[in-house]
Structure 1
């Protein structure tokens, strides 16, 4: 294959598709740069004009086993030839049952009841309804900069960007609190910011906003996703777990982006030994098809027949794809390889930081890595404009990346990435950073 070094605009076909896109697609949908995809394989994307790109996005952390993995494609084709829909809401079929049996095998003991939906947002909606039903309480606590989806319940939990909520209220009763960010620590001390946030919930929220016996659940991303790929201090989730246990509050882990070995373990929450009461999965678990899963214990998932369901939830195609994905994730040493590749990527990006002062912080867990750009390392002023220029220049040179938070570049490549791919991507990033330094 030709080297991934190019600076060229979209071709004629790409420009035509983009023109039609602008004319008929909702303006609420954003485009980071003019990429018009035609096909994908493994670590690579091709646009409609034949240009190849190295992918550091995995389709927003969806294609964890690589684009168009032959085992996943074959499973979808075979299932489509037999039974695609299945109407699992009314009729039983084997793939959804088998998928649930396989999934709980990846999870901590006790998380053994599965509800199927069509997306990560829907899995959060189910979790909210389940938490209210089981607890008999109405309120939720979630975190600033968190993102849980755009449906009404999930959006009520979300507090990442004002534009995502503007004009859509009123929302469900959710109290938002700071997320512990060691780079921008709540309370001022990176070492104690996790404890400081939990103390804020207990000493401030429970005193002045909502009594703990009115809170159904605390909903948390074990690693902050859209809000900036922030890895909280290791004591944060255990402290949150103890707080929930003390007050009879359910702990809901939104693992939609961080799950399926994205961080080196099937669930990011298990890095610190925490077992949530409810787990929400999506994105990678469906192998590229719309899929959402809510998992809880039999004790918590105690709602009666007919109380919640979905026409397409648990459809046979998505379950077949998910089974193929889980079979690949079960390969010996898979999580260890993700951890090793993530460590290597962080190392290479920190080498870039030594040469480019615009890089304020590099952090990550597994292959969920964030590089935060700042205008001044001492003030940590965010650099969103510079971030946009780097993303565009990297794209022009053949590397596809996405933003997160206010000025973070996220790296969430397919988990099959090798060191050579990492070196290629970091080399392109290096040149993109040089481009913006030179104006």
Structure 2
């Protein structure tokens, strides 16, 4: 039998190494919240394939739905033809939104963001789009203009999409935030961005993550988005919420924007919506989703196999929201009790949790590596975010005892730091 080391060496030879692997583990199969490598070792999955497998690995309902669809047809491009599955999923998806909307299907998060930018620019007939520093929206050239959680993501790829600006996010660690972070960033927008950089009449949209995931699980003040919504509504500016990571139940609500008393105009989705198959979507107010025939399409967007999986996801996830909220609070409480001078803060909502490590007032990147490696060696697959944040986002179906076993291992590894 081929070994993990052999696979890893072949990977280095044959695949472009433009992405980082967290551990030398080669996955063989998974079931529920557990993963098994090709040597047969069992791991607790505390990252859900980066937030994708909301219903766990090899979910029987998803397997059955995909098998049934595969016996009918694999593909027949939705951009040129019709099939009923696209309508049934859209109907179910739209039922979760507080406005009358329409759906555009994509294959990934970055494609959803690209589509949302085009929709916003075309509808408003304005060119500028404003994003936030420390966000992650994807790595294709349009979405990359708004991605800035790490400099390496942008380095060497300029010029990026023009007519874009990045402004500070309401992060309490930001030097601009002194007393009232939300109001201070709003003042920055009104007194500096609008008056010194770009007139609001030229701005098509603001794009933001309701919680910055890759940037370190940064949760904004409760009133920030409602204040921003007031500004955008007054100036005819659209609000795009990137819910690629936070959407579909991850934070204990179907969409994270529901935590913040705000209703966006456009929402981008991917990751969990396909249950493990490549699927993304843009959901927007009906009057905004008005791109003309031939202006935007996707050969594989809305693939029937992925839509079959999505039907199951959209039926099952609402049943899990109380479990996600309860378990997320318990994980935060347990990690927060770690006895370590290097644990700066534990934050998040639902099953998107970040434990930030700092040493001498600075991000403790070496500490993050030690915690992740130590957890991996003890059978837990967690990953990092930001500069030194342990990111915890297991499948939404993870059992409480398994989740807390993994959480305690992570906690113990934090406590080992010196």
TM-score (norm. length: structure 1): 0.93
TM-fit CA distance, 1:185: 4.0
TM-fit CA distance, 1:86: 1.8
Change in CA separation of 1:291 and 1:247 when aligned onto 2, cut-off 3 Å? same
Q: Which residue of 2 aligns with 1:140?
A: 129
1:104 counterpart = 2:75: no
TM-fit CA distance, 1:35: 1.1
Q: Which residue of 2 aligns with 1:159?
A: 148
Counterparts of 2:175 and 2:103, CA distance in 1: 36
Q: Which residue of 2 aligns with 1:271?
A: 259
Change in CA separation of 1:124 and 1:434 when aligned onto 2, cut-off 3 Å? same
Contiguous gaps of at least 5 residues in structure 2: none
Structural mapping, 1:160-309, within 5 Å: 160-172=149-161, 173-182=163-172, 184-189=173-178, 192-309=180-297
Helix, strand or coil at the partner of 2:53? coil
Aligned match for 2:114, one of 113, 125, 138: 125
Q: Which residue of 2 aligns with 1:395?
A: 376
Q: Which residue of 2 aligns with 1:67?
A: 57
Q: Which residue of 2 aligns with 1:336?
A: 322
TM-fit CA distance, 1:171: 1.1
Aligned match for 1:368, one of 344, 352, 363: 352
Helix, strand or coil at the partner of 1:276? coil
Counterparts of 2:235 and 2:141, CA distance in 1: 26
> How big is the alpha-carbon RMSD for the aligned residues of Structure 1 and Structure 2?
1.3
Q: Which residue of 2 aligns with 1:37?
A: 27
Structural mapping, 1:376-387, within 5 Å: 376=360, 380-387=361-368
Counterparts of 1:317 and 1:419, CA distance in 2: 31
Q: Which residue of 2 aligns with 1:85?
A: 75
Counterparts of 1:142 and 1:274, CA distance in 2: 17
Counterparts of 2:237 and 2:354, CA distance in 1: 31
Helix, strand or coil at the partner of 1:82? coil
* CA deviations over 1:30-78 (Å, ceiling 9, x no partner): 1111011010111100001100000110110111111111001111111
TM-fit CA distance, 1:225: 0.9
TM-fit CA distance, 1:433: 2.7
Change in CA separation of 1:431 and 1:271 when aligned onto 2, cut-off 3 Å? closer
* CA deviations over 1:327-362 (Å, ceiling 9, x no partner): 11233xx2122111111010101111xx11111000
Counterparts of 2:238 and 2:260, CA distance in 1: 18
Q: Which residue of 2 aligns with 1:350?
A: 336
Helix, strand or coil at the partner of 1:157? coil
Q: Which residue of 1 aligns with 2:402?
A: 421
TM-fit CA distance, 1:426: 2.2
Helix, strand or coil at the partner of 2:145? helix
Q: Which residue of 2 aligns with 1:8?
A: none
Change in CA separation of 1:226 and 1:54 when aligned onto 2, cut-off 3 Å? same
Helix, strand or coil at the partner of 2:412? helix
TM-fit CA distance, 1:417: 2.1
TM-score (norm. length: structure 2): 0.97
TM-fit CA distance, 1:423: 2.2
Helix, strand or coil at the partner of 2:359? strand
TM-fit CA distance, 1:435: 4.1
Helix, strand or coil at the partner of 2:189? helix
CA contact (8 A) 1:186 1:193 kept: no
Name the stretch that deviates more: 420-429 or 280-289: 420-429
Counterparts of 1:19 and 1:253, CA distance in 2: 40
* CA deviations over 1:209-247 (Å, ceiling 9, x no partner): 111111110001001110000110100110111111111
Counterparts of 2:175 and 2:313, CA distance in 1: 38
Counterparts of 1:351 and 1:47, CA distance in 2: 31
Moved over 4 A (4+): none
Corresponding pairs, count: 417
